[in-house]
């Protein structure tokens, strides 16, 4: 009986400490306590994140994640996510940071907080040569593939003519596959992604039709984590000054950062 009560009280204490842990609001402290930072990265969005032959993610976002973890002096757990579910991952505290070529918009700012930008990115509409489109108004009655919930999705919804047929896919994988298999002849995506497709499949190389938005990438974190936000901003600033960000850009984009980036 005595042993049972001991066991029970032990369980209760453990349970209580667990709930205390999850109740605390300071994610930065949590990261230090568990000596581990969990970072969401894409695995279907080259050159930001895609898989190698060992199925491990690699790319700008993965390098950035490793940089942040090293600078914080903690271990890193890389969590592959899709663009549709990366914000729910943050909201539900499955990860501490989202470094997933995340663009900023008012809808998202209601749900999560952002760091300062860490990489340049332009969104546009791309497509095969035989489709004649030069500006957004000419999308009327055309079919465009896009990844659901992405900035380009929201831009199209806001600015494209009502008669455009937007086909939304769960993740970038599926959007790219839809374009490459010819299911759609136009896609809205980032300039770097389009360049990557062109490299892999010269036959279906998408050409740039027009730009949608200048949408640099930010690191996302749960709302109200001011300590974490300050720390991440400080690290980005450091990386910009030390040339680390430029190195990453040279490595994956084969080009230096644009002049005045992050200023």
* Residue 101 interacting with another protein (CB under 8 A): no
* Residue 107 interacting with another protein (CB under 8 A): yes
For residue 111, the minimal CB distance to another protein (Å) is 5
Q: Which of residues 200-219 bind another protein (CB under 8 A)?
A: 200-201
Among the listed residues 70, 88, 161, 256, the single contact to another protein using CB under 8 A: 88
Piece of 67-75, 114-122, 169-177, 219-227 that binds another protein (CB under 8 A): 169-177
* Residue 181 interacting with another protein (CB under 8 A): yes
User: Pick from 190, 185, 191, 232: which is nearest to 204 by CA?
Assistant: 185
Piece of 119-127, 128-136, 146-154, 235-243 that binds another protein (CB under 8 A): 146-154
For residue 103, the minimal CB distance to another protein (Å) is 14
Cβ atoms 122, 190 nearer than 8 A = yes
* Residue 70 interacting with another protein (CB under 8 A): no
* Residue 87 interacting with another protein (CB under 8 A): yes
d(CA 210, CA 243): 31
* Residue 53 interacting with another protein (CB under 8 A): yes
HEC string for 64-113: HHHHHHHHHCCEEEEEEECCCCHHHHHHCCCCCEEEEEECCCHHHHHHEE
- Token reading at 260: 């005045």
For residue 205, the minimal CB distance to another protein (Å) is 12
- Residue closer to another protein by CB (options 51, 74) is 51
Site for another protein (CB under 8 A): how many residues? 42
Q: What are phi and psi of 85, to 5 degrees?
A: -110, 5
d(CA 29, CA 32): 5
b/e for 52-71, b at 16 or more Cβ within 10 A? eeeeebbbbbbbbbebbbee
Piece of 29-37, 119-127, 197-205, 249-257 that binds another protein (CB under 8 A): 197-205
Alpha carbon 68 to its chain centroid, in Å, reads 15
d(CA 117, CA 262): 6
Residues ≥6 apart with Cβ < 8 Å to 1? none
Residues at the contact surface with another protein, assessed by CB under 8 A: 22, 43-44, 50-53, 55, 80-82, 84-85, 87-88, 91-94, 107, 111, 145, 148-149, 153, 167-170, 172-174, 176-178, 180-183, 199-201
């Amino acid at each position: 009986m005595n042993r049972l009560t001991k066991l029970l009280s032990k369980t209760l204490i453990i349970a209580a400490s667990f709930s205390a842990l999850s109740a605390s609001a300071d994610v930065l402290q949590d990261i230090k306590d568990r000596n581990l930072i969990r970072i969401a990265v894409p695995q279907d969005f080259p050159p930001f994140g895609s898989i190698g032959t060992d199925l491990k993610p690699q790319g700008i976002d993965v390098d950035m994640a490793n940089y942040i973890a090293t600078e914080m002096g903690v271990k890193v757990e890389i969590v592959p996510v899709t663009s549709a579910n990366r914000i729910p991952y943050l909201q539900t505290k499955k990860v501490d940071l989202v470094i997933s070529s995340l663009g900023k918009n008012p809808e998202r700012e209601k749900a999560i907080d952002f760091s300062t930008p860490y990489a340049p990115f332009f969104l546009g509409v791309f497509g095969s040569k035989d489709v004649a489109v030069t500006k957004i108004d000419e999308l009327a009655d055309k079919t465009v593939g896009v990844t659901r919930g992405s900035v380009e999705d929201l831009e199209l919804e806001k600015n494209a003519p009502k008669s455009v047929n937007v086909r939304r896919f769960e993740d970038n994988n599926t959007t790219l596959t839809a374009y490459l298999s010819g299911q759609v002849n136009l896609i809205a995506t980032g300039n770097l992604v389009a360049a990557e497709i062109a490299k892999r499949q010269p036959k279906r190389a998408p050409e740039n039709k027009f730009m949608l938005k200048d949408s640099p990438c930010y690191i996302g974190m749960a709302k109200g984590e001011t300590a974490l936000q300050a720390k991440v901003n400080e690290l980005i600033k450091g990386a910009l000054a030390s040339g680390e960000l430029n190195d990453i850009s040279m490595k994956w984009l084969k080009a230096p950062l644009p002049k005045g980036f992050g200023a």
